[in-house]
Structure 1
Amino acid sequence: MASVLFLMYSAVSLRLHQRMLTSSYDLGIFQQVVRSYAGGHLPVSEIKGEDFPVLGDHFSPILALMAPYYRMWQTAQTLLVAQAALLAVSVVPLALWARRALGPAAGAVIGACYGLSWGIASTVGYDFHEVAFAAPLLMLSLTAFGNGRMRAAASWALPLLLVKEDLGLTVLVIGLLIAWRGERRIGAATAVAGLAGTALALFVILPAFNPAGTFAYWSLVEGPAAAGGSPAAGGGQGLLDVLHHATIGLVTPEAKISTFALVLAPTLFLALRSPLLWAALPTLLWRFSSSNTLHWGTGFHYSLVLMPIVFTAFVDALVRRGTRGRGLRRHLAGSAAITLLILPSFPLFQLVQPDTWRTDPRVLVARRMLAVIPDGATVQASDHLVPQLADRTSAGLYGALGARPDPQWIMVDTWVPAGRRWWPGQPLGAEAEQQHLAADLRTAYDLVDQEQGYVLLHRRA
C-alpha cells in the first residue's frame, strides 16, 4: 500500500513541476533552504529577500536531513520525491495497528482511506513543505500511544520540535495525554519539552535570526494582540486576547466549520470519541485564529498534520467501542464511501485527468529560454519559473520587495493569468509589470529572447 501511494504522490507532484505549475512559495524557498544545508551553511532564501536567513522565518532544522540526498540529486524533484516517501510511509503504522486490533479488512480500508485523504492530497498537489516530516512522526507516536507504549509515543513525538515551531504545542498535548494514561513522569517531561521548545523557537531563536527582531507571523493573529506585533508586547492581556480570538475563531466564519467537518467526515465523526483528537487542538487553534483566510480552508498543506491525528483517533474509537462484525463493516464502508466522494475535489484525482498528461507547448518554449541562463547567475523570474531555476542559480521573485537589485538575468511570463497573480504571485501586477519591464529594457538590460509571452533579459556589461 505504501509503495502504491508513493508512486501516486510522486506522479502528481512531479507532473505538476514538469508542467511548471509549482511556485516560488514554497517549492522554490525550500529548494534554497536544502541547497544551503547541502552547501554546509545556515539556510538562506533569495525568494524571501536578499540573503534572508530562513531560520528567522520558520524553525525547521529537520530539513538538514535532506542535504545528503540533495547533494547527490540537486533538483526540485528530490524534494518532491522525498515528500512522497515521507507521506507514503506514514500509512504503515496506521494500517498495521488497524489490522492487528480490528482485522485485515480494517487495516486495508483505514490505511487506504488515510492514504487517499484530502489533507494528504492537498499537500501533494502544492509544492514541498517541511511538515511532510510530521506525518510519519505523528503517526508513529500516536499509534504507539494507542498500543500502550508510552515511552515510544514520547520518543517519536519529541523530534516534532525540529519540524516547525508550532508543533511543540502538539508535543505538549501528547505529553499531557501520556500523563493522563498513567505515565506521569514521561508525560510531564514530554509536555514540558514541547512547551519549552515552542517558547524557545518563538521568543528566542526566530527573533534572533529575523532581521526585524521578532517572529514574523504575530501579525496574523487576529485581535488586539496583533496590533503590538507580538503577544509578548501586551503581557498577559495580549495572550488572553490571542486565546479569546482563537476560541471565537473555531465557530466563525462558516469556512472554518466546513473545514472542521471535512476533517472528521472520513471517520464518520467517531474520532470525537477518542482522546487522541486533542492532539489536533493546537493546529486548529492557530489556523482558525489567523487573519489569513487561506489558513481556514482545505487547500494547500495546512491540514496535513491533522490527518494522522484523526485517523489514529478513528482506530482508537473503534477499539474502545469494541466494534466488530456488522457494525465494523458498516463503519468501514461509510469511511470508504466518504473518502471516495471527496476524492475528485482534490489533486490526487488529477491522475485520471487527460490534461495532467498533456504538455503545454509554452512549457517547451520556457525550458529552452531557461537553458540560456548560466549556472550560478543571479536571476529574477516569475513565480512559476523560480522553482525551475532555484537548483542552479540565485533566483528571486521578480519585482518582490527585498529582492536582490540588478540581477544578471530577468525572465518574466507576461501571459500569467490574472487568477495566478495572488500573493505572492507577481507583486507588481500585470500593468505595472509591463511598465517595469519596459523600464528595464530602456536602462540596463538587453532583450535576449521573446516568445509566447516569455521575456528574457540580460544586464548589460
Structure 2
Amino acid sequence: MITPRSVSWVVAGTLLTAYSTLSVHRHRRMESTGYDLGIFEQGVRGYAHFRAPVAELKGPGFNLLGDHFHPVIAVIAPLYRLFPSPVTLLVVQSALLALSAVPVTRLWADRHGVRAGTCVGLGYGLAWGVQQAAVFDFHEIAFAVPLVARCVVLLARGRDRAAAAWAVPLLLVKEDQALIVAAVGALLFRRGERGIGALLVLLAVTVAAAATLVVIPAFNPDDSYKYFGVTEPDSDNPLLRLVTPMATKGPTVLALLAPTLFLGLRSPLTLLLLPTLLARFWASNPFLWGTEFHYSAVLMPIVFVAAFDGLRRVRTSGLPDRLTHGITRVAPIAIVTAALVPTVIGAQPLGRLLDPSYGRVPSRVDAARTILTTIPDGADVAASNHLAPQLTGRCRVFKLAPAALALRPEWAVSADLDPAVAGSGEGVTAQELAAWGYRPVARGGGISLFRLRN
C-alpha cells in the first residue's frame, strides 16, 4: 500500500537522482566554477584534515570563516575524507535539497491524499528556486532548505515548540539565516508562544551580531564583515529603494507566489518570506534581486507550506463547498504543471536532462582534462574559474590573478575565451604570464597550461 510516508521518500529519491545527475554531469563538462564549488571544496578539505577551512581561491591563506559564518559545512568532512572530490559536495547538496521535499510532500499527502501529495512534492522539487540551487555548484544554503522545510511544516501542523527547535540549527548555516529564525520567533510570539518566540528572536539577533561583529572579522584579513559595505543606497527614499528596479524585483515576488496559485497569500506563514526578501532587495548587489542562482532556495519550502495553509483557510472561509472542492482538486495539478512545463521546454536547468546532446561530454573537454592530468598531485596551481574545481581535490589552487602569481606557484592554467570552457574572472593574459616567468607547456581543448621557469 502506498502511504504518505512512502510516497514522500519516492519523490525525494526521484529528485535526488535528477539533481545529482545534472550537477555531476555539469561538473564533468567543466561548467562548474571555482566560485563557488572550488572554494567550498577547499574549505571542506581543510576540515577533513583537521585544519582550518582555508580557501586559497579567495586569497592566500584565506579562512572561510572570515567570509561567512557557516560551521555546518564541517559535517561533510568525514564523507569527504572517504571520497575526496568536488562530486561529494555536489551529491551532498543534491541529497539535502531532495530531503527537503519529504516533509512538504507528506504534509500535502496526509491532508489531501497520496496523489495530491505526489503532485505538490514534485512541483516543489521542480520549482525554479530549488532547481537553480541544485544546478549552480555548491553552497552552504543547501543545509538550510530541509531545516526550513521541517520547521515550517511543523508550524503548519501546530507543533510550535518543535518548530522552534528545528529553527535553531539554521544559525549554524549562515549568518543571514538569523532573519528566518527571528521571523519564526515573531510568528510564535504572535501565536501566543511568547516566551519561546521572544527567546528565539533574541537568540537570532545575538548570534547574528556575534557572527558579523566578532567572529567573521576575527578571521577576515581586513578585520571586518565586508557585506556591510554592499548596501550603498541607490535612492534617498528607502521604500523606493526596496521596490526598484521594479522590472527585476517585481517578477521575483511574482515568481515566488504564482506557482502555488497565490494560495500562500491567505496564510500568515508567508510573512516568513519578508525579512529575507527585504534584505535582498535592500542590498545593492543586483544578483540578489532576481530569480537566478541559489538565493531563493530557502524560501521555496515557505511558499509551498504557506500554500497548504492558505488552501486550508480557503476551505473554511465560507465560500460555497462546490467552489472550495474544485480549488482543492485543481491546486495540486496546477502546481506540478506550473513547475513541469518550464522544465520540459528547457526554461529551467533540469530540462537539460531531456536534451541528448547535453548528455555527451564535448571532445574538447576530454582534451582539456588530459592536459590537466599533467599537473602532479599536491602542486601549487593558479587556475581560471572553470578550471579550478577540476583541480581543488588534489592540488593547492589559487585564482589566476597577479596576487596569486606573486606567490610563484609552479603551474598556471587558463581557459581560452571560449564560452563553453572559459570562466569569469580571467585576469591574466599569456603575455603577463610570460612576464611573471611562466612558459607555455601545453595547449588544447580550450585551455593553456604554463609552468614557472627554473
Normalised to the residue count of structure 1, the TM-score between the two structures is: 0.90
Name 1:235's counterpart in structure 2: none
CA contact (8 A) 2:421 2:446 kept: no
Match of 1:435 among 421, 427, 431: 431
- For 1:93, the aligned partner's letter is P
TM superposition shift of 1:68: 0.3
CA contact (8 A) 1:168 1:194 kept: yes
Q: For the residues of structure 2 that align with 1:401 and 1:446, how far apart are their CA atoms?
A: 18
Q: For the residues of structure 1 that align with 2:402 and 2:39, how far apart are their CA atoms?
A: 14
Name 1:231's counterpart in structure 2: none
Q: For the residues of structure 2 that align with 1:130 and 1:97, how far apart are their CA atoms?
A: 26
Alignment of structure 1 residues 99-110 onto 2, 5 Å: 99-110=109-120
Deviations 1:40-91 (A, max 9, x none): 1221111000001111101100000000000000000000000000000111
TM superposition shift of 1:253: 3.1
Name 2:82's counterpart in structure 1: 72
Name 1:342's counterpart in structure 2: 342
Q: For the residues of structure 1 that align with 2:357 and 2:281, how far apart are their CA atoms?
A: 34
Match of 2:451 among 451, 455, 458: 458
Match of 1:364 among 366, 371, 374: 366
Name 1:228's counterpart in structure 2: none
Normalised to the residue count of structure 2, the TM-score between the two structures is: 0.91
- Secondary structure of the 1:277 match is helix
Q: For the residues of structure 1 that align with 2:134 and 2:359, how far apart are their CA atoms?
A: 17
TM superposition shift of 1:246: 6.9
Q: For the residues of structure 1 that align with 2:155 and 2:403, how far apart are their CA atoms?
A: 46
- For 1:341, the aligned partner's letter is V
Cα 1:246–1:460 shift into 2, 3 Å: farther
TM superposition shift of 1:427: 3.0
CA contact (8 A) 1:396 1:404 kept: no
1:184 counterpart = 2:194: yes
CA contact (8 A) 1:246 1:286 kept: no
Q: For the residues of structure 1 that align with 2:280 and 2:229, how far apart are their CA atoms?
A: 13
Cα 1:373–1:419 shift into 2, 3 Å: closer
Match of 1:294 among 276, 287, 300: 287
1:3 counterpart = 2:5: no
CA contact (8 A) 1:96 1:107 kept: yes
Q: For the residues of structure 2 that align with 1:419 and 1:13, how far apart are their CA atoms?
A: 16
Name 1:277's counterpart in structure 2: 270
Cα 1:251–1:330 shift into 2, 3 Å: farther
TM superposition shift of 1:270: 1.4
CA contact (8 A) 2:71 2:173 kept: yes
Q: For the residues of structure 1 that align with 2:28 and 2:364, how far apart are their CA atoms?
A: 12
Please give the root-mean-square deviation of Cα atoms over the aligned residues, in Å: 2.0
1:173 counterpart = 2:177: no
Alignment of structure 1 residues 110-125 onto 2, 5 Å: 110-125=120-135
Q: For the residues of structure 2 that align with 1:137 and 1:452, how far apart are their CA atoms?
A: 42
Name 2:328's counterpart in structure 1: 328
Name 2:214's counterpart in structure 1: 204
Name 1:263's counterpart in structure 2: 256
Name 1:150's counterpart in structure 2: 160
Q: Percent identical across equivalent pairs?
A: 43
Deviations 1:374-417 (A, max 9, x none): 11111001111100100111101112656662111111122333
TM superposition shift of 1:247: 6.5
Cα 1:100–1:360 shift into 2, 3 Å: same
Match of 1:94 among 79, 104, 110: 104
- Secondary structure of the 1:302 match is coil
Unaligned runs of 5+ in 2: 1-10, 317-323
Deviations 1:110-156 (A, max 9, x none): 11110110011111121011000011000010101111111110111
Cα 1:92–1:192 shift into 2, 3 Å: same
TM superposition shift of 1:98: 0.9
Q: For the residues of structure 1 that align with 2:258 and 2:405, how far apart are their CA atoms?
A: 43
Deviations 1:236-272 (A, max 9, x none): xxxxx8xx64763235331110111011111111112
- For 1:6, the aligned partner's letter is L
- For 1:397, the aligned partner's letter is K
TM superposition shift of 1:202: 1.2
TM superposition shift of 1:102: 2.4
CA contact (8 A) 1:246 1:289 kept: no
